[in-house]
Amino acid sequence: MTGAEERREALVAVYREASECTLCPLAQTRTKVVFGAGDADADLMFIGEAPGAEEDKRGLPFVGRAGGLLNELLAEIGLDRDSVFIANTLMCRPPGNRDPQPVELDSCRPYLLEKVRLIEPKVIATLGNFATKLITGDQTGITKVRGRPQTHQLGERTVRVFPILHPAAALRTPRLRETMSEDFASLGRLLAEPAPEQGRTAAEPPEAPAPEAPEAQPPRAGDDQLDIFAP
């Protein structure tokens, strides 16, 4: 069995465990756990906020209009959803698409870190304000940090973190569509660079800022989603 096959097998085991998770109150209100979707050996991993109503129903991330736009943006840099991995900070839908609560985030965090450890992505693209602030530990708004690669330690893995506007923002504000295309082009170039050295314990400062994007309302949880992780 190759390393990639072993990694995928281990990820399937995590998926099976997560599908029965009862660590937080969301287990009482969800329809399905939305574990994540894509390639267990992906160089690029996306992290959004939380599943919405359709994702909760189907158990798949990014299946709405925002997911359709994400597919288009991936195609622009020669990728598709099967060649990346998509996850969220939460695996269960918060009722009414409210913001995730600390106990929910704490319960899902070990699963998220295990996905990062097993998939070994070179780059993690955070989608929107909530995911970006959570992953980077920085409360600066997404319009100020979008398109600026950073280096962070997530569990055992040192990764490039690349904040991006949430696709739902471009659906609400069409002028942001071009901004997102520009950032995805930068993301494609970042993927071509070597992976960061492993074992770092501190974050590097962000690189030079990308041009400021117009302010947009932060997306709500529920527009964040894509394709099932198929065991």
Domains, the chain, in order of start with CATH, read 3-191 (3.40.470.10)
Q: Check whether 207 has a pLDDT greater than 50.
A: no
Q: What would the DSSP string read from start to end of 74-128?
A: HHHTT--GGGSEEEES-SSPPGGGPPPPHHHHHHHHHHHHHHHHHH--SEEEEEH
Using CA atoms, how far apart are residues 111 and 129, in angstroms rounded to an integer?
A: 21
Q: 89-137, pLDDT tens digit by residue?
A: 999 999 998 999 999 999 999 999 999 999 999 999 999 999 999 999 9
CB-based contacts of 177, cutoff 8 Å, min separation 6: 69, 170
Give me Rg for the CA atoms of the chain.
16
**What are residue 24's phi and psi, to 5 degrees?**
-135, 170
From edge to edge, which strands make up the β-sheet containing 44-48?
A: 37-38, 85-88, 44-48, 123-127, 157-164, 150-154
Cα dihedral across residues 226, 130, 29, 53: positive or negative? negative
Q: Say what the pTM is.
A: 0.86
User: Taking the C-alpha atoms of 169, 172, 177 and 182 in order, what is their torsion angle to the nearest 10 degrees?
Assistant: -20
Percentage of the chain exceeding pLDDT 70: 85
Q: Are 98 and 55 in contact (CB under 8 A)?
A: no
